[in-house]
């Protein structure tokens, strides 16, 4: 009876699909088959892994989730993180994420990466912890220029565990990921493992 009352369509292509599924099988397969990529940065105390490049369909899925509150896509995106992790497994004590600025959170109305981090951490049976804070706005804007420069965009709200998984949706220049990683390492972490859904070309 539900099928007659409610017609569900794929968020990407508009095909009719079963109720409560955000994407059709064809679009899902196209995105999943793009990764995991073998993009890997290896530094002294941290590594970076990316599921895919910022392709059209993956870009659209991320934007629908992030800016249009299509939270049904969170399970799919968390599965992409898990698929990437299954290829590049690193033991960690906690999962955290690159934090958004206050204005971005207010604009979107929710912390899109917090939800993904919780789903990802639950599968790994380790805690999801809010460690980093974005201080590019708010209490930091009144500080003197040199002090702001010294603090950077991110600070740790609490001491990080020894080994940390850091999640982000898209890595463009890599500045945010690097800043967060360096902040975690300066605050006591020994190793940081970064997993991102997409890397800009």
Give a yes or no: residue 52 inside a domain. yes
Return the CATH number at 100. Answer: 3.40.50
The span from the CA of 39 to the CA of 87, in Å, is 12
Backbone angles phi, psi at 29, to 5 degrees: -60, -40
- 16 in a structural domain: no
Domain annotation covers residue 67:
yes
Residue 59 forms part of a structural domain: yes
d(CA 41, CA 76): 25
pTM given for the model: 0.89
Domain containing 90 equals 36-199
Residue with structure tokens 């804007």?
141
Q: Give how many domains the chain has, as a whole number.
A: 1
In this structure, is residue 94 part of a structural domain? yes
Q: Given CA atoms 158, 124, 98, 42 in this order, what sign does their dihedral have?
A: positive
Position 196 scores a pLDDT of 98
> Has residue 168 been placed in a domain?
yes
Query: In degrees, to the nearest 5, what angle opens at C-alpha 28 toward C-alphas 25 and 33?
Result: 120
From first to last of its 201 residues, what are the pLDDT tens digits of the chain?
A: 444 566 799 999 999 998 888 999 999 999 999 999 989 999 999 999 999 998 889 999 999 999 999 999 999 999 999 999 999 999 999 999 999 988 888 888 889 999 999 999 999 999 999 999 999 875 544 554 445 446 679 999 999 999 999 999 999 999 999 999 999 999 999 999 999 999 987
pLDDT score recorded for residue 6: 66
Classify residue 68: in a domain, yes or no. Answer: yes
Nearest to 48 by CA among 159, 187, 172, 160: 172
Q: Is 14 a domain residue? A: no
pLDDT at 52: 95
């Amino acid at each position: 009876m539900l099928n007659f009352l409610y017609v569900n369509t794929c968020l990407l292509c508009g095909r009719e699909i079963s109720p409560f599924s955000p994407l059709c099988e064809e679009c899902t397969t196209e995105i999943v088959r793009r990764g995991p990529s073998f993009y890997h940065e290896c530094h002294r105390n941290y590594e970076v892994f990316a599921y895919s490049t910022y392709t059209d369909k993956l870009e659209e899925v991320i934007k629908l989730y992030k800016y249009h509150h299509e939270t049904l896509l969170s399970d799919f995106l968390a599965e992409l993180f898990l698929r990437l992790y299954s290829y590049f497994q690193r033991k960690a004590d906690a999962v955290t994420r690159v934090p958004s600025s206050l204005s971005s959170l207010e604009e979107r109305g929710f912390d899109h990466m917090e939800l993904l981090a919780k789903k990802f951490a639950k599968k790994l049976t380790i805690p999801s912890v809010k460690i980093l804070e974005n201080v590019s706005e708010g209490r930091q804007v009144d500080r003197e220029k040199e002090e702001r420069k010294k603090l950077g965009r991110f600070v740790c709200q609490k001491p990080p565990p020894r080994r940390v998984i850091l999640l982000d949706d898209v890595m463009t220049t890599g500045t945010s990921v690097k800043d967060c990683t360096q902040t975690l390492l300066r605050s006591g972490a020994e190793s940081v493992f970064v997993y991102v859904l997409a890397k800009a070309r």
